[in-house]
Amino acid sequence: MRKILFPIAWIGWYGFLEAVRSRLLLGTLCLVLPLMVSTWMLDVYDVGFQVKVVKDLGLNIMSGFGLLIVLFLSLDQIIPDIERRSIYFVLTRIGNRHVYLIGRFLGVAMTLAFFHAVMGGFLTVMMRVHEGTWFWEVPVGAFVIFLKQCVLVSLVLFLTTFATKIVVISLSVLLYVLGHTLEIFRMLADRKGVALLSYFGEAIALVIPDFSLYEMKIVVVHEIPIPLPALLFLALYSSAVALFYLAAGGTVLGRRDL
């Protein structure tokens, strides 16, 4: 077990240091923090909706810039290693392509965890200073966004094992949009009463991540408590989907002639 966990941790930590050295993470933080502060200037008359506006905009900012981190970092994990031939050195040390892919995933996940921890903590403290109370639903919302983007990272890494950057970007955007429309498809199928459409939607959900499950911003903004079982279900679902794509990606990478 140690021969598997240690290389994963080593590759993940190296990927996190790469993200810090590339200045993408620090540049994003320097850009996002002033945007967080500026959200308070949108409601100069303070008519009672400022807290909800700030939470909504803050979570949207975290989600939007987190997606940029996912896209840029995930594309720079495997494809450049293959092009620079540096993947050979790593594989001679660990000898397992599944371990290599999981380690690369861990590096991006650590970067996202650091980003959302800083952003969620900053937004929570900023609202505590202005309102005099803690809004603990904000870190919960940041955690849900983190889970959602980790699933997207695993999907992008899976695509990078067999496609070029342009194809990966196109497919990632397409699958991301389709994953958000699954709930709408289910509602339409139930309204039409066609069982075949319902079965088709569930079959798609077995292949494409159901990103509609993570849409909890309205709940967070309106301070509606999120049940602990719902968070546990999201964490388990995210782990299962991520492991599925990483296992599939490792299998494709293992069959690929590098």
pLDDT above 70 covers a percentage of the chain that reads 89
H/E stretch holding 22 reads: none
Question: pLDDT-based confidence at 183, cuts 50/70/90?
Answer: confident
Tokens of 218: 């309205």
Residue 78 pLDDT exceeds 90: no
**Alpha-carbon gap, residue 70 to 28, rounded angstroms:** 12
Q: Using one digit for the tens of pLDDT, what is the confidence trace for 36-57?
A: 777 666 555 554 557 777 888 8
Residue 194 pLDDT exceeds 70: no
Over residues 164-174, the mean pLDDT reads: 91
pLDDT reported for residue 227: 83
Between helix 87-94 and helix 97-131 the angle, nearest 10°, is: 100
Q: Using one digit for the tens of pLDDT, what is the confidence trace for 124-161?
A: 888 888 777 888 888 898 999 999 999 999 999 999 99
Q: Using one digit for the tens of pLDDT, what is the confidence trace for 53-77?
A: 788 888 888 898 889 899 888 888 8
For residue 33, the tally of other CB atoms under 10 A from its CB is 16
| Distance between first and last Cα of the chain | 27
Check if the beta carbon of residue 160 is closer than 8 Å to that of residue 75. Answer: yes
Residue 25 pLDDT exceeds 80: no
Residue 193 CB burial class (10 angstroms; 0-12, 13-18, ≥19): exposed
Check if the beta carbon of residue 101 is closer than 8 Å to that of residue 78. Answer: yes
Q: Using one digit for the tens of pLDDT, what is the confidence trace for 173-182?
A: 999 988 888 7
Out of 4-8, 104-108, 171-175, 194-198, pick the least confident: 194-198
Main-chain phi, psi angles of 76, to 5 degrees: -95, 15
